Amino acid sequence: MIETKRLLETISWIVAVFLGLGSWWFQLLRRDRKRQRVRHAREMGFRICHCTPSGEIFVADPKRVTATEKIEVCPVCHRELEVKI
């Protein structure tokens, strides 16, 4: 009886460790994916707002685009940037 209890306890610890490692790996994957997306946007010439540690990509406001200029807005802090076309 004691051996069964010890076996179940060992298995539960192993499962908990694997779940913790999986969660940690998933968080790293999400963070690196966002950094890669921001890096690629910077290389393509998009503007980056530094309101968050990893950065946010400015998005053009379709309602405020004219023939000579457009307004880009940060989706997090809502900072506006006027861009000449």
* Tens of pLDDT, residues 68-82: 888 999 999 999 888
pLDDT tens per residue across span 35-77: 898 999 989 988 899 888 878 889 888 888 888 888 999 999 9
For the cut 70, the answer to whether the pLDDT of residue 3 exceeds it is yes
Nearest residue to 75 (alpha-carbon basis) of 58, 54, 62, 53: 58
Handedness of CA 50, 52, 58, 63 (dihedral sign): negative
User: What is the structure's pLDDT at 1?
Assistant: 65
Q: What is the pTM of this model?
A: 0.61
How much is the pLDDT for 20?
Answer: 97
Domain chopping of the chain, boundaries: 1-45, 46-85
> Which residue's structure tokens are 């490692």?
21
